[in-house]
Amino acid sequence: MARPRRIVLVRHGESVGNADDTVYEREPDHALALTETGWQQAEDTGKRLRELFGSERVSVYVSPYRRTHETFRAFHLDPGLVRVREEPRLREQDWGNWQDRDDVRLQKAYRDAYGHFFYRFAQGESGADVYDRVGNFLESLYRSFEAPDHPPNVLLVTHGLAMRLFCMRWFHWTVAEFESLSNPGNAEVRMLVLGEDGRYILDRPFEQWRDPEVLRSHRIEWQGDDR
């Protein structure tokens, strides 16, 4: 099995939706483009990736959203060294169709209280749904390592939630551990690096916004409820 030395995850650059959430009322989420700032963020990340990969081959998987495709294009990787596939399972969490800003803000408040993993947006997905499809993709990815000529690098161009859930699935994090972590910033990178012992380690942690033990203790209390 030719396991890659690196599995690199990148969040898309800043999109027009990140800059102005009213745009979701007029444009589909999947069609939102990068801002000028987002293009610059992606180009800066691309410089680091080109230095990282050098002349090595890269197997690339890109979410089908416009902002992830644009982010990948801004990397300017050598087309002779990359194998690119669009991967729908790496898409953003589905929120339904066009969004009412006030309704979404209310649902986000509900999600914060209920839990990011389990809360399901009306007409959309829960974090658990995204976990399932990201986990399904991971199984396909792992099977691809059986090819003897598999590239030494894998690059996933995706979204913040998907990045955290990919790592949750890979490293067997608990729900409480997942919910204690913040999304990476736009065009931020996390990398799984193959160690000498044959195990992958995360090059740097996600920012933690609260203690997972607090979340875990709350769940134990809830489980004691007779309902």
User: Pairing mode, if any, of strands 58-62 and 6-11?
Assistant: unpaired
Distance CA 103, CA 98 (A): 11
User: What is the DSSP-derived secondary structure letter of residue 110?
Assistant: H
How many CB atoms are closer than 10 A to CB 182?
Answer: 12
- For residues 101 and 72, give the distance between their C-alpha atoms in angstroms, rounded to a whole number: 29
What angle is formed at CA 198 by the lines to CA 53 and CA 152, rounded to 5 degrees? 25
**Active-site residue (options: 12, 69, 116, 159):** 12
Total residue count of the chain as it appears in this document: 227
SS3 154: strand
**Which amino acid appears at position 167 of this protein?**
C
12 catalytic? Reply is yes
* Angle between helical axes of 160-171 and 127-144 (0-180°, round to 10): 60
Q: Which of 70, 87, 92, 179 is catalytic?
A: 92
Annotated catalytic residues are 12, 92
